[in-house]
Amino acid sequence: MKSLYIVGAGGFGREVLWLVKRINEASFFEGKGRGWKIEGFIDDNTELHETMQDEYPVLGGCDYFNNILEEIYIIVAIGSAKVKRKVVNKLSRYKNIKFATLIDPTAIVSDRVKIGAGCIICAGTIVTVDIILGRNVIINLDCTLGHDVMVGDYTTVYPSTNISGNVKIDEEVELGTGVQIIQGKNIGSQSIIGAGAVVVKDIPKRCTAVGSPAKPIRFF
């Protein structure tokens, strides 16, 4: 089994732990004889160090990896796209670290999907055909992605979001819970789409957009 560290000991980190256990259970029952050896959590919040999340320890911050020389895998379980990118950049300097890709056994993902390293696809999600997911993308619970969708690096898609065909989502975007995007629209880099928004027009980069129809209310 390959050693796996979960980076991020918050609520989503605990959900990812559950996801890894589900993958291991499915692997066992299918007789594949492979899975992940969960080593514990990594978090830069020093208040969490030496505590337990479920039955697994928070081992320390990212500097914990300074003393590990063998090849290991990590998964970055951080919802904030901006923070996630910073953490990934920090950890990328370790040559022995590889970024795992985790797909829940109940997710439906066609063989015509390109998935970058470090992606997480959660339970109940459907990813159809001719889709590209960049690196370190999170697709949370019960989402749907239509044909020819492109999702940029570090993007987080929160639960129950529906993305229609031919949508392009740039890097470091966050799509809130229950967002709906009609076909053929573009979401600019680093933008945040509020929960429940309905996107019927292109959204520019570096803005927060809310409502139905979704409109930018703040640029940054």
Query: pLDDT per residue over 115-154, tens digit each?
Result: 999 999 999 999 999 999 999 999 999 999 999 999 999 9
Specify the pLDDT at position 1: 84
The C-alpha atoms of residue 108 and residue 97 are separated, in whole angstroms, by 28
Query: Which class for 179: exposed (0-12), middle (13-18), buried (19 or more C-beta within 10 A)?
Result: buried
Mean pLDDT score, 78-98: 96
Specify the pLDDT at position 30: 55
- Structural domains in the chain, CATH included, are 2-100 (3.40.50.20), 106-207 (2.160.10.10)
The C-alpha atoms of residue 56 and residue 86 are separated, in whole angstroms, by 24
Q: Is the pLDDT of residue 35 over 90?
A: no
Mean pLDDT score, 18-32: 81
Specify the pLDDT at position 32: 57
